[in-house]
Structure 1
Amino acid sequence: MLPAVNRIRTASEFSRTVRSGARSGRRNVVLYGSITPGMDPSRFGFIVGKNVGNAVVRNLVKRRLRNAAAKSLTRNPHGLDIVVRALPASAAAGWPELSTDLEKGLSSVLRRLTARDDAATEGEGQ
C-alpha cells in the first residue's frame, strides 16, 4: 500500500501539480508531475472519475494504480508530486497493462521535467 506521507490529499495540491507540471498520456492513464523543493518525499494522487465505471470498478482501478505507484517509489523516493488520472479504458485493463502504462508515463514525465529544469538552468546562466 501507499503510506500516508506519499499521498497527495488536498485539492490545492492536485491543482498545482496538474496545472504546473509536465503531462504524459497513455492508453489507460494520464500522468501529471512536478518537482518538489528539497528532500520532500515523492507523493502520488489519483483521479478516477465516474466515466471509468461503477464504484466497484473505480476502486479496483485505484487499488491497482496505488500498488504500481508504491513499487515506483523505490526508484523515485524524493522530490516528485505525481497525479494519475485514470481514463475509461483502464476499467478493462489488467494489472500488467496498468502497471506498464504508469511506469512508462512516469518515465516520460521525468524526462520532460528534467528537460524543463535543464532549460531553466541554462537561461539563468546567460
Structure 2
Amino acid sequence: MLPRPHKLSSSADFKAAMRKGVRAGSRTLMVHLHHRADPVIQGGPRFGLVVSKQVGNAVTRHAVSRKLRNVVVQRELVDRLGRECDVVIRALPAAARATSDELARDLEHALAKAEKKR
C-alpha cells in the first residue's frame, strides 16, 4: 500500500502528468513521467494507476492494481525518484496475464526510457 503523500489523488494531477509528462511504454504498461516545477513540500514522488476495463473484469483490474502497487513499493521507486516527480502508470490489456516479475521488469524498462527522453 502506498502512503498518502505518494499518491496522485486529483484528476487535475493525473491530467497534468499525462499531458505534460514524458511517455514511455512496454508490452504491459505505459508510463507518464512528469517533473513538476514546484516540488511537493511533504511527500513525493507521487504515483497514480490507471487500469481500465480493457484490462479485464473488476477482479482482474484489482489484481493488476495490487501487483503494480506492490511493484512500486518493492522496487523502492519512492526512494529513487525525485520529490518533484508525478508518475502515472497505465496498464495495457497484456498486464492481465503478466506476473508481478514481468510487470516489475516492464515498469523499470519504461521508467528508464522515460528518463532518457527527458
TM-score, normalised by the number of residues in structure 1: 0.84
When Rg is computed on C-alpha atoms for both structures, the one with the higher figure is 1
* 1:52 aligned residue: 55
- C-alpha distance in 2 between matches for 1:12 and 1:37: 15
Task: Judge which range, 76-85 or 86-95, deviates more.
Answer: 76-85
Which residue in the other structure is 1:87 paired with?
A: 92
In the TM superposition, residue 4 of structure 1 has moved relative to its aligned partner by 0.8
User: How many positions carry a matched residue from both structures?
Assistant: 113
State the match for 1:36 in structure 2.
Answer: 36
Rounded to whole Å, the distance in 2 between the matches of 1:10 and 1:20 is 16
Q: Going by fraction, where is helix more abundant, 1 or 2?
A: 1
Gaps of 5+ in 1: 114-126
- Tell me how far 1:109 sits from its aligned partner: 1.2
CA drift at 1:39: 3.9
Match of 1:22 in 2: 22
Consecutive aligned runs of 4 or more in structure 1 exceeding 6 Å deviation: none
RMSD: 1.2
1:65 counterpart = 2:68 = yes
Q: Which runs of 5+ in 2 are unaligned?
A: none
- CA deviations on 1:90-112 (whole Å, 9 max, x unpaired) are 00000100011111111111222
> The residue matched to 1:74 in structure 2 has which SS?
helix
